[in-house]
Each structure stands twice: as C-alpha cells, then as structure tokens.
Structure 1
C-alpha cells in the first residue's frame, strides 16, 4: 500500500498487520508473584491499621452480636475504644466493659472483643476471669 501525499505532506497508509498470535490477557491478570506480593502487602497494612486504630472482633463475639441482635454503631465503637484505652493505661488484661446497650468481655492487649451480652441478659450473670471493669 502506498503513502498518500496531500499538500506536500506525506501521510502514511496505516493498516492492521495480520497475525496469528493471540494473547489472552484474562489468564495473566491477577496471577504471578507480583499479585500475591501486593495482596500480602495490602493485608499487612490492613492488619497493622487494625492493631493501631481498631478493635478486633473475635468469631465468637461476632456470632453473639448477631444472635442477640446487637448492633455496633459508631457511638458504641468509640465508647469501647475509649474504654479499652483507659484499661490499657491502667494495665487491664481481660476486662468487662459495660455500655448502655451491652456488656463486653475484652482482651485489652490484643484490642479484641471476646464476647458480648445484651443489656437485658446482664443481670444475674457471673463474669469470671476478668481483672478489671469499666462502665461507659
């Protein structure tokens, strides 16, 4: 195919070059070492952020929250976070945190909620193996 000349400007004729080689990018996306490295790096950052700023929820606590229809709204979250900061400052390890909605057993060094009890079922419960209590 020839080039075209318009007003003394050479315009090349560009056309598709036939090729039998086909590349399937779907098989290459998300595979390989770099994808795994990125996923691991991202998970490390998420875990670090949770440790520094968040409260972890044990599987047991998540199950109890669901069974007892307890919701963890931002108000409840910040009450727990503040209580855990106070407990950590005072050297608490396994503690009972009582809010206006529920009671929580928490593992202070791990920033983890171990279990949750709704306010209606707190009465006449015996809480064992705790070293401190805070009411918020």
Structure 2
C-alpha cells in the first residue's frame, strides 16, 4: 500500500469506497489478473478468421470490408458482455459463426445459404 506524509504523520493511501481500480487504457478491471492473462487479453482484441472460415468466405464470395470487420468486432464484444461463448452474427445478408473467447470467426455464409438454414452449437446470436 502506498503512503503519503502530512505534518510528519504517515497516512495510508486508499481508494474511495466503490471506486474501481482500472487501467485507464484497458477494458474492464485488471486487478488480480496475472501479467500473462492481461497480455493475452490485450493481444486477442483483434478478430481472426480460421482456415475454414477463410475457405468458406472465398468459396461463397462473402465480402468483408474494414467497416464490416468493425461491425463484427462490435458483435463479438456485445456477445462477450452477455457471456456468450459461441455466437451467430447476422449482418446484412451474411452470417458468421464466431468463438467469442478466441475472437475467431469459424465459418461464414451468404444470402442463398441462409434460406431455411439451421445453426447449431451456438448459445446466442447478435444482429449488427
């Protein structure tokens, strides 16, 4: 605990009640997390595409612009806030399945494949 000196009396420095100790540039409270955990969380902020997803994107001619990528990132962030682990992200006429914890797109589909589609192994959906 840090201390400061007033009139030669040592006083402990304590946060105000109900004050969170956050790192100003980070998301969420990092107190009590290991350095490795904080590092991994920081490095994993970018959305990745699995080999399977990349293959499907090319096969199905699914276009993903930088603006679309930001929307996908937002969807993953929203899913994470709700505790979703595997999410369906619906965006315009496209669908993406993502692993929220890994911030990885697992597969992608476009217009024609969405008709009468069944999505399994998800525990939530986000529309962006």
Fold shared, TM-score > 0.5 on shorter chain: yes
| Structure 2: 5+ residue stretches without partners | 1-39
May I ask how many residue pairs the two structures share in their alignment? 89
Partner of 1:111: 103
Name which of 50, 55, 65 aligns with 1:58. Answer: 50
Q: Distance in 2 between matches of 1:83 and 1:122?
A: 19
Q: Per-residue displacement from partner, 1:41-71 (whole Å, max 9, x unpaired)?
A: xxxxxx986512x101000000000001112
Q: Which has the higher helix share?
A: 1
TM-score (structure 2 length as normaliser): 0.65
Q: Distance in 2 between matches of 1:50 and 1:72?
A: 22
* Higher Cα Rg, which structure: 1
Q: Distance in 1 between matches of 2:43 and 2:95?
A: 22
Q: Distance in 1 between matches of 2:77 and 2:102?
A: 12
Partner of 1:134: 126
| Structure 1: 5+ residue stretches without partners | 1-46
Give yes or no for contact 1:50–1:56 (8 Å, CA) kept in 2: no
